[in-house]
């Protein structure tokens, strides 16, 4: 499965001793701050409160390797901390020369008609509709449903009909990514989207077409914002930058 491959590749890419400076299962984003020879790196992953049934979690020790090993755990707390750590490592190794500062909607061509958004990412949905695309929004969490959303149970029926599929990075946490991509084989554009999608693009070779995420520039200010329960600075262009990279 894809998350198992991410775990394997993330452990394999580590070529120095990293220190875990800070971490927390927080709202709205879990975060892990690491330090290596080149400096600090902050990785985040959305905390899916509705998916967490048991807050008991175990790691062999407080280390990058131990946290990453939890990314494919059946315990959602361990998965979330694990993915945030994978993202911290990914951002540390991400080559800034290979990314383009852009919003995900900018990479969709006019000849694409039907666009699926897996995860009710409201700003993206609004932008796509304003551009005239036929948009289908799937959402698992009932509290995020509105008049524009469909239950994720309809993905099985509708995803094979889509020209493009934009997938929230949270699909890595709830382990639905494999099922979504299996049903999206005909889509010409398959993009992992959002702050939770900070994973290195090379981890998705032959699986996705693009990654669209956020590169944190001011680690300290974004970290303070997250500690206070806010994602405002995470999406503020003064402290972070949206980027798109081809896989």
Split into its structural domains, the chain has a count of: 2
Q: What is the pLDDT of residue 243?
A: 97
Q: For position 94, what pLDDT does the model report?
A: 96
Does 245 map to a domain?
Answer: no
Residues 225 and 167 in one domain: no
- The phi and psi torsions of 157 (rounded to 5 degrees) equal -80, -45
**Nearest Cα to 7, choosing from 172, 119, 169?**
172
Q: CA-CA distance, 155 to 207, in Å (whole number)?
A: 18
Poorest-confidence range of 20-24, 58-62, 163-167, 238-242?
58-62
Q: Are residues 139 and 74 both part of a single domain?
A: no
45: nearest Cα among 93, 91, 108: 91
- For 112-126, b where at least 16 C-beta lie within 10 A, e where not — what string? bebbbbbbbbeebbe
- For residue 207, what is the DSSP state? T
Distance CA 162, CA 24 (A): 37
Does 230 lie in the same domain as 147?
no
Task: Answer for the pair 191, 245: CB distance below 8 angstroms, yes or no.
Answer: no
Instruction: Sort strands 149-151 and 134-139 into parallel, antiparallel or unpaired.
Output: parallel
C-beta of residue 138 within 8 angstroms of C-beta of residue 117: yes
Residues 27 and 109 in one domain: no
205 and 225 housed in the same domain: no
pLDDT score for 190: 98
DSSP string, 219-242: HHHHHHHHHTT--TGGG-TTTEEE
- Flag whether 123 is in a domain: yes
Q: Say yes or no: 113 and 201 in one domain.
A: yes
Q: E strands along the chain, which residues? A: 19-24, 29-36, 39-46, 100-101, 114-118, 134-139, 149-151, 164-168, 189-193, 210-216, 240-246
Q: What is the span of the domain harbouring residue 39?
A: 2-96+219-239
Give the residue from 109, 189, 118, 191 showing the smallest Cα distance to 149. Answer: 118
Query: Does residue 171 sit in the same domain as residue 200?
Result: yes
| Same domain for 211 and 196 | yes
Record the pTM: 0.95
* Packing angle of the helix pair 76-93, 2-13 (nearest 10 deg): 50
Write the pLDDT tens digit of every residue in 188-202: 999 999 999 999 999
Query: What six digits make up the tokens of 68?
Result: 């990453």
Per-residue pLDDT tens for 92-115? 999 998 899 999 999 999 899 999
- Specify whether 53 is located in the same domain as 155: no
CATH of the domain at 118: 3.40.50.11590
The domain that contains 235 carries what CATH number?
3.30.390.100
Same domain, 72 and 11: yes
| Banded model confidence at residue 55, pLDDT cuts 50, 70, 90 | confident
> How far apart, in whole angstroms, are the C-alpha atoms of residue 58 and residue 97?
37
Q: Please tell me the predicted confidence (pLDDT) of residue 119.
A: 95
Note whether residue 146 is domain-resident.
Answer: yes
Q: Which tens digits make up the pLDDT trace of 58-97?
A: 898 999 999 999 999 999 999 999 999 999 999 999 999 8
Average pLDDT estimate for 5-23: 97
Residue 15 in tokens: 């070529």
Residues 104 and 210 in one domain: yes
| Residue 89 and residue 169 in one domain | no
């Amino acid at each position: 499965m894809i998350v198992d491959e991410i775990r394997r590749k993330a452990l394999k890419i580590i070529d120095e001793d990293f220190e875990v400076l800070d971490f927390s299962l927080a709202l709205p984003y879990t975060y892990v701050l690491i330090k290596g020879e080149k400096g600090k790196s902050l990785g985040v992953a959305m905390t899916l409160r509705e998916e967490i049934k048991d807050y008991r979690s175990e790691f062999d020790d407080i280390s990058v390797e131990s946290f990453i090993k939890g990314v494919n755990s059946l315990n959602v707390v361990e998965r979330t901390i694990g993915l945030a750590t994978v993202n911290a490592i990914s951002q540390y190794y991400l080559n800034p020369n290979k990314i383009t500062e852009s919003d995900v909607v900018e990479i969709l061509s006019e000849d694409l008609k039907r666009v699926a958004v897996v995860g009710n990412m409201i700003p993206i949905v609004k932008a796509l509709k304003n551009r005239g695309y036929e948009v289908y929004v799937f959402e698992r969490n009932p509290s995020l449903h509105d008049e524009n959303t469909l239950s994720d149970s309809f993905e099985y029926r509708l995803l094979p009909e889509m020209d493009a599929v934009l997938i929230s990075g949270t699909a890595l946490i709830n382990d639905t990514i494999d099922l979504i991509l299996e049903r999206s084989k005909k889509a010409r554009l398959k993009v992992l989207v959002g702050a939770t999608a900070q994973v290195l693009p090379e981890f998705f070779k032959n699986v996705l077409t693009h990654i669209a995420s956020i590169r944190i520039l001011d680690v300290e200010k974004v970290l303070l914002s997250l500690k206070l329960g806010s994602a405002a600075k995470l999406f503020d262009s003064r402290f972070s930058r949206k980027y798109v990279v081809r896989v």
